[in-house]
């Protein structure tokens, strides 16, 4: 819901902008790692791009939706790191226990 007052960083107007397609590269790593759905979440979590109608400035700004997806993304990354840590630490613990004859 970006229409509730995103100020243009150049002229400060809050109503004279519209969202434009992002010029940034498509995320390749999340596609390879977690598929299209994950890539979509990652893409949605980045700041959308806007163009001010009154001065032509192109700028990035978070919206409520992109902040929501950012939170979702951060939550997902957090659990992935935790899962990876467990997957690495549990066999490591077993290996050390074996080594020490426990």
Contacts with Zn ion, residue ranges (CB under 5 A): 8, 10-11, 52, 54-55, 57
> How far apart are CB 15 and Zn ion at their closest, in Å?
10
When the beta carbons of 60 and 68 are compared against Zn ion, the nearer one is 60
> How far apart are CB 31 and Zn ion at their closest, in Å?
34
Q: What are phi and psi of 59, to 5 degrees?
A: -145, 160
> How far apart are CB 56 and Zn ion at their closest, in Å?
7
């Amino acid at each position: 819901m970006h229409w509730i007052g995103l100020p243009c960083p150049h002229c400060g107007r809050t109503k004279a902008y519209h969202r434009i397609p992002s010029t940034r590269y498509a995320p390749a790593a999340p596609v390879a790692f977690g598929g299209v759905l994950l890539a979509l979440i990652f893409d949605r979590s980045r700041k959308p791009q806007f163009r001010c109608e009154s001065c032509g400035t192109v700028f990035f700004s978070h919206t409520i939706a992109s902040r929501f997806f950012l939170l979702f993304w951060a939550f997902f990354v957090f659990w992935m790191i935790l899962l990876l840590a467990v997957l690495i630490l549990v066999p490591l613990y077993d290996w050390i226990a074996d080594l020490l004859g426990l």
